[in-house]
Amino acid sequence: MKFLRDTLDKLKPTFSKGGKLSFLHSTFDGFETFLFVPNQTTQKGAHIRDGVDLKRTMFTVVIALIPALIFGMWNIGYQHFLAMGQESTLMANIWYGFLKTLPILIVSYGVGLGIEFMFCQLKGHPINEGFLVTGILIPMCLPPDIPLVLVAVATAFAVIVGKEVFGGTGMNILNPALTARVFLYFAYPGDMSGDEVWVSAPKDQWVDNFSGATNLADVYKASSEGATEFVSGAGGTLKASAWDSFLGIIPGSIGETSTIMILIGALILIASGIGSWKIMLSTFIGGYLMGWILNAVGGNAYYDMPAYYHLIIGGFAFGAVFMATDPVSATQTETGKWIYGLLIGILTVLIRVYNPAYPEGIMMAILLMNVMAPLIDNYVVEANIKRRLKRVKV
């Protein structure tokens, strides 16, 4: 590390003001602060002394994502060999999934960071570490066989339209990773829906009786065919058991299937103080309550599905833990966090059941509440002001 530090110190004058490559100062500064803690300190004025800067925050979130990412790689391989009717080992599954996931990660980071570097160079702004998380979130919410050109297009759209037009890191009103996913869902639906996109194997080579359908697709199909009773397990409304769904041994996006691995990530975020446990918990509560209400209403297999199933299928857990808690696009007030999370959970289940065209309701629910977050905070603050004014008058 000393050699690297000495090398950067020697190169720094070249990229500083007056140097031959001073126009690349933002790029050099981005690499330097990525590798080492910035050597600038506040000289005057009020400021907060805290060791947790943006880089440490982003790295902590990446660490929290690793359990779900590694499991996702294993599951890609597991589903592949299962579809092909072939025997496989733990390492064979992980290796196959790694080879499928790595190119998507490379394209996501390459395109996203390239655009961010370009914007920072044009504006003369320092490069922030915000894309460290976005660059891994985008691949994790995509199918394993998504064409790489679509990953590039979606990432570019998310960074430019979802982030840079609002002013860059910390100014966006929408979660960039979800912006990429929703763009692909509406622009290229054939690559984001259908049984065959969730399993990395040619459908004409699948063994008999294998289904690449997600849990959400299974229950929607059953309800649309007139099934009025929900049956979990092989041959029922939902082919995967609740336990398999909780573990994540099911077809789905790269990093969204395993609820247990996502909850491990949630514990890391909560313990580090980076993720809001209030948003996570209220989202799960909202989803469960809406599912319970629909159970009481009844009508078809979707209504009849036990409320807790909504929390362990699709991308509900992943969205609640890693997307809804985005500190930029989420609510900031403590009361607002409860309201924000509850509404996300409620809307997710409502969208799933009443608008099957968007089976992954968590995606639409979070983006809608991203837009509403400032309004929620405004009403919470106004209510606090009115309450305190009443105390003064008394």
Q: What is the pLDDT along the chain (394 residues), one digit of tens a residue?
A: 666 666 766 666 676 666 665 545 555 555 555 555 555 555 554 445 555 556 678 889 999 999 999 999 999 999 999 999 999 999 999 999 999 999 999 999 999 988 888 877 776 666 666 688 889 999 999 999 999 999 999 999 998 888 877 776 667 888 999 999 999 999 998 888 888 889 998 888 898 888 888 888 888 777 777 676 677 766 667 778 889 999 999 999 999 999 999 999 999 999 998 999 999 999 999 999 999 999 888 777 778 888 999 999 989 999 999 999 988 889 999 999 999 999 999 999 999 888 867 778 899 999 999 999 999 999 999 988 888 888 776 5
Considering the entire predicted model, what is its pTM?
0.85
Cβ atoms within 10 Å of 181's Cβ, excluding its own: 25
Report domain extents, the chain.
15-37+54-191, 213-393
Amino acid at 221: K
Could you tell me which residues come within 8 angstroms of residue 121 by beta carbon, excluding any fewer than 6 positions away? 23, 24, 26, 27
pLDDT, residue 355, reads 81
pLDDT, residue 19, reads 67
pLDDT, residue 109, reads 93
The tokens 């041994």 sit on which residue? 249
pLDDT, residue 46, reads 45
